[in-house]
A and B are shown apart, each in its own frame.
Chain A
Amino acid sequence: MIDPQTIETAAAQWVRRKEFGDWNDIAQTEFQSWLNQSVLHRVAYLRLEEGWKRTERLAALRLPEFRRLEPQRPPRRWTSLLHVAAAAVVVAAIGVAGQAYFLSPPEDTYATPVGGREILTLFDGSHVELNTDTVLKLGRNRRTATLVKGEAFFQIRHDANNPFTVSVSGHRIVDLGTKFSVRSESSGKLEVALFEGKARIENTDSPQTRSTVLAPGDIAVATAETLNVTRKSVQTLANTIGWRHGVVIFRHMALADAATEFNRYNMKKLVVDPSAAAITIDGTFATDNLETFARVARIALGLTVQSNEREIIIKR
């Protein structure tokens, strides 16, 4: 069951997409499908949409100077003619937009900034969540995706005749009815964690390499040449997707690795001096809460913490 925070995040995205015109026929279909999935979705959307409508009233704050910059109203007799002209412009614009839509590549690109998160609901009820600093391309048929960078969680409605595939750094993951997450690091390292069902991972750069089928609890770590699969506990696996709820979860993790993880989410960076790098920590932190993390390091671990505009430096 999707938690209420996730529903509200998705509802806010729909309001924003409508407001900024990130909209087409596919978006409309996906939106309707999302609304119809649960009355909880509908009421969350209506509530935020109504709130956004209330902010229309802020237009009253426009400064008088701002108003004067607007064009003068044309004389009365011209208005009806202008309406006709405006209608013609609208028709032309739709023509151009329509053409652009059909000429554009058959995929849509979704991107999140550092610290961002986005939930995509596809029209078949499948669900994709993008973590911080991520770029994902989604085929218009909604059965193919390319993870260009970053991390994403997939909850896919299975269709045996038309399996969902994710392409990522020389590999392809083929859904066989699943929930899984994929993380692509700039080093070329790829990590796939399987939560439910089954998925197959293939090396597309060297197709002679045999493919591997993942089972729940499996984490596959792949590079261009290697593919290793290890079985983890459900809890360990769940910790890797704490980001879906806005947290990072560390269990016996070296401070240096924890800092690297934190740095994915924030512009201000944690720097761990080698003298403190190997100390292990436990804890759950909001992804954007560097201060708490630094405080824990100072108070609980007795480390020295120095902070400037761009960095927080931790050392012994």
Chain B
Amino acid sequence: MVDRADITSEGAKPRSSGAQMSTAEVDAWFRAEVLPLEAMLMQYLQQNWRNASDVPDLRQEVYARVYQAACEKLPERSKQYVFATARNLLINRMRQGQVVPIEAASDLEALEIAADSPGPEQSVIARDELRHLQAALDRLPPRAREVILLRRVEGLSRPEIAQRMGITEGTVSQHLEQGLRALVEILGGDPPSVRRLP
């Protein structure tokens, strides 16, 4: 478990009192500039952190920090900023001595170079996006996939989905939530085995 008591103290930038940007602006920036980097960010964290089970927590921590910093001022180069934040976070975690992957520490110089190379996400076009989605859906548990398809393809309501599948509306909700979480994880470059959801 990654400790997360202090979002700001070891962040890339200190946070002063009044937020300068509107929430809507920061949300829009976060969706457009940060979330598309997820596959790259996950790859980066996985390569540079030994304990794979920490990676999703580290990712959320990076997101929280860049979001917080962006409330003050949107970074000019989002991608560099995200990876610099990830790098600082990893260094700090190593220094805290919870885990010290020595070979990772010697690679810290290399980390910066990775942040400048163009990412695969830039070449994704609409048609590929649909294919990408379908491939991700194929890896979901069947019931979760069915709920998402009935909702998105056939546009059914929750009672209609429940009736069609012969399950309760509560179970429909459960499948949608777990399916969505697994789907986003897969789209963000999770390895083939679907993570068990609690």
Binding site for B on A (CB under 8 A): 1, 3-5, 7-9, 12-13, 15-16, 19-20, 38-40, 42-44, 46-48, 50-52, 54-62, 66, 111-113, 115-117, 245-247, 286
Contact = CB atoms under 8 A, between A and B. Distances in A.
Given A5-B198, A12-B178, A16-B176, A47 B63 contact: yes
A48 B180 contact: yes
B149 interface: yes
A20 B158 contact: yes
B31 A19 contact: no
Contacts of B178: 12
Contacts of A112: 170, 174
Contacts of B129: 54, 57
Nearest to B31: A50
B4 to A, nearest CB: 6
Contact of B152 (A3, A56, A117): A56
A1 B153 contact: no
B9 to A, nearest CB: 14
A38 B158 CA distance: 30
A9 B153 CA distance: 24
A246 to B, nearest CB: 3
A286 B196 contact: yes
Nearest to A57: B130
Given A8-B181, A40-B4, A54-B133, A117 B60 contact: no
Contact of A58 (B153, B180, B198): B153
Nearest to A246: B198
A289 B126 CA distance: 39
Contacts of B168: 113
A40 B64 contact: yes
Contact of A66 (B30, B68, B154, B180): B154
B151 interface: yes
20 contacts: A1-B5, A4-B4, A12-B180, A19-B176, A39-B7, A40-B7, A40-B60, A43-B63, A46-B31, A48-B180, A50-B31, A54-B133, A54-B187, A58-B148, A58-B152, A61-B130, A62-B154, A112-B174, A113-B170, A113-B174
Nearest to B28: A46
A55 B183 CA distance: 10
Contacts of B57: 4
Given A54-B133, A113-B168, 8 more contacts: A9-B198, A47-B38, A51-B180, A51-B184, A51-B187, A56-B152, A59-B155, A61-B153
Contacts of B60: 4, 7, 40, 43-44
Interface residues of B, number: 49
B198 A47 contact: no
Contacts of B126: 57
Which of A16, A59, A112 is most buried by chain B, counting CB atoms within 10 A of its CB? A16
B170 A48 contact: no
Binding site secondary structure of chain A: helix
Interface in B138-152: 148-149, 151-152
B171 interface: yes
A267 to B, nearest CB: 10
A43 B177 contact: no
Contact of A46 (B27, B154, B157, B171): B27
Given A3-B1, A13-B177, A19-B176, A113 B171 contact: yes
A38 B64 CA distance: 9
B52 interface: no
A43 B68 CA distance: 10
A50 B152 CA distance: 15
Contacts of A4: 2, 4, 56-57, 60
A85 B167 CA distance: 36
Contact of A55 (B5, B133, B173, B198): B133
Contact of B177 (A9, A61, A247, A286): A9
B83 interface: no
B177 A59 contact: no
A103 B123 CA distance: 54
A273 to B, nearest CB: 30
Given A12-B178, A13-B177, A246-B198, A55 B152 contact: yes
A39 B68 contact: yes
Nearest 4 interchain pairs by C-beta: A246-B198, A51-B184, A12-B177, A43-B63
A159 to B, nearest CB: 26
A117 B180 contact: no
Contacts of B130: 57-58, 60-61
A246 B4 CA distance: 21
Contacts of B38: 47
A275 to B, nearest CB: 32
A48 B130 CA distance: 18
